[in-house]
Every structure is written in C-alpha cells, then in structure tokens.
Amino acid sequence: MLKEESSPLVRADVAVAEAYASVGNVGIGFDILGHCVAGAGDRAEVRLIAEREVRITAIDGVITDLPMAAADNTAGAALLSMIHGLDLPFGFELVLHKGIALGSGMGGSAASCVAAVVAANALLDEPLAREALYPFALDGEVVASGSRHGDNLGPMLLGGLVLATDKRIVRIPVPAEWYCALVHPHVVLETRRARAALAGHYALGEFVAQSANLALVLAGCYRGEAALVREGLSDVLVEPRRAPLIPGFAAVKQAALDHGAMGASISGAGPSVFGWFEDRASAEAASHDMRAAFKAAGHDSDVLVAPVDGPAARVL
C-alpha cells in the first residue's frame, strides 16, 4: 500500500499532487480496468482552510471553462466527499492545473479527482492509504461522467494496471517492458455521447466472448505471457458500437496492429486510441503511423508512449 510521507508533529498547510493520464476500459475491461500512462497529467494545489468547505480559486492549463462551484466540479466534489466522509474539522482551497484535455478518453476528470484527494490526503495528520481514498474519488468522478466507475481512478491511485470495482481497487502485475502507445486526436468526444452509443440490448454470446478475452488478458498479465494477451486483447462488445464515433478509427487501430501490437482499441470513451506492445521501440514506431492515420482522417493528434505499468499519482 502506498502511504504519503507525513510527520505527526508538523502539518503542512499546502500540498501539490499530480495524477497522470490513463487508458480506461483497456478494451476488454469496460468500466473496471485501466492503466496509467506517464507524460500528461493534472495537478492540484490544495490548501487547508478553517471553514468546512471547498473553494476553487483557479483553474488553468489546457481547459479553463470548468465549473468553479465545488459540488459541480469533479475535483471539488471529491474533496467535499472527503471532508464529509472523514468528518474533517476543516476544508480545502483548490487550484487546478489541467494537463489532460476534456473529452479525450484519457481520464481527465479522474485525474483532477485523484490529484485533489492525494494532495489533500498529504495534509492530514495521518494520511490514509491510497485504497481508502477511492470512495471519495468515485464521488467526484460521478459528477463528471454521470457513472460511478473507477477504471481511471484506480490506476491513478495505485499505479500500473488496476481492476476497479465499485468497492475495491486491485493492482494487476504487468511486465515492465510492455509499452503503450496512446494517440489523442484533436477531436472532442463527450463521455455522455460515447455512453449513449452503448444503449440497447446485448446477446449472451457477446458477453462470453468478451469475458474470455478479459480472462486471457488477466492471465497473460499475471503470467507475463504476451501470447495470451495477444489472443485476448480484442474488444468485441463496446468497440464495434463506439468506433463509428471516431474518425479514422479502423486505420489507426490497423497501424498499431501492423507494428505488432498485442491489441489496440479505444481509450476510455474515446476518441483516443491505445495499443499495447511488447517493447518500447514497437510502440514508438506504431505511434507515428497511428498519428498519420488520424491525420489522413483530417485530425492532428498528440502521442504518449510509456510503460503499461505506469506511475501512480504523486505528491510533488
């Protein structure tokens, strides 16, 4: 368990934490599986205040037009949940520095939640273990997405690949040499719209195929066997319903597979696309062609190439 450093005698009155981007769903773990990707992140600067409230004083960075009312802001709501859940006798002032674009499918709302609660936690006399912060972060995430899912929060709190249920987060081991290429086209796809594409009925056979794939990926990660992940990392349930919302998706995915990806699919609700590779060089090479494929579909994009077993949020 991660625990923030703290002194029982000296309580700082300001802390800054950063939470990194993440790939939610990972194709085969809709709403329950995600992993961190270093290279982009949200930062939260949190200051103790005497009043039992949350005041957001500034939001800057790649997005600025987010709600300033604490209860309507994902990070603000997470801090309010923390104040009430822990019955804290004080409150927090919050400055958010957004490094992750809105509607990118890279877990931006989750990153704000996690950065805020991790920074606030560092201000407590007895900071909690990361797992204990999860319920507060969930209360924040629901404000942004309308859904109580932790597939981005979990990896940001624990690092690496994480299974996140409504009650619990569990880290899954991943070989250190496996890399992710995450390509973010400059198109906004609202999470709510991406969720609407999933309305309707499903067949049991779709579930059986998808759960077999999920189990193969989990077993492959535990065993460190790329062959199992390669066989399982294919989203037969959600991707077919969402792919039409992402311009150029098929070509971008194919570019990843052409470079030997174990699998490639939509990151979170999209439009970002990720691929998993057995080494850094393949991920780097793929990322160029994945960008080119988005460009051919009319969109510039930016790229993160980083280990699948990415870093947890940290106090700066």
- Binding-site positions for ATP read 101-111
Q: Is 270 left (phi over 0), alpha (psi -120 to 50) or beta?
A: left
Stretch of 49-57, 218-226, 250-258, 306-314 contacting its own copies, by CB under 8 A: 218-226
Listing DSSP states for 147-173 in one string gives S---TTHHHHHH-SEEEE-SS-EEEE-
Does position 239 interact with its own copies (CB under 8 A)? The reply is: no
Does position 228 interact with its own copies (CB under 8 A)? The reply is: yes
Say if residue 135 is preceded by a cis peptide, omega within 30 of 0.
no
Does position 168 interact with its own copies (CB under 8 A)? The reply is: yes
> 199: number of CA atoms within 13 Å, CB side?
5
Does position 207 interact with its own copies (CB under 8 A)? The reply is: yes
Instruction: At 120, list the tokens.
Output: 């606030």
CB of 246 to its own copies, least distance (A): 19
> How many of the other CB atoms lie within 10 Å of CB of 65?
7
- Alpha-carbon distance 243 to 149, whole Å? 21
CB of 24 to its own copies, least distance (A): 13
CB of 15 to its own copies, least distance (A): 32
Pairing of strands 33-49, 161-164: antiparallel
Does position 257 interact with its own copies (CB under 8 A)? The reply is: no
Residue from 170, 196, 257, 316 that binds its own copies (CB under 8 A)?
170
Does position 277 interact with its own copies (CB under 8 A)? The reply is: no
Nearest to 109 by CA among 82, 68, 134, 144: 144
**Site string (79-108) toward its own copies, x via CB under 8 A:** ------------------------------
Radius of gyration of the chain (CA): 19
Assess contact for 188 and 200: CB atoms under 8 A: no
Cβ distance to its own copies smaller for residue 26 or 59 = 26
Does position 44 interact with its own copies (CB under 8 A)? The reply is: no
Cα dihedral 214→134→302→232 (10° resolution): 0
Does position 153 interact with its own copies (CB under 8 A)? The reply is: no
CB of 146 to its own copies, least distance (A): 13
Instruction: At 187, list the tokens.
Output: 């198109």
Does position 31 interact with its own copies (CB under 8 A)? The reply is: yes
CB of 196 to its own copies, least distance (A): 12
Cβ distance to its own copies smaller for residue 44 or 245 = 245
Which amino acid would we find at residue 174? Answer: V
Q: Which residues bind its own copies (CB under 8 A)?
A: 29-33, 163, 165-168, 170, 172, 198, 201-204, 207-208, 210-212, 214-216, 218-219, 222-223, 228, 231, 237
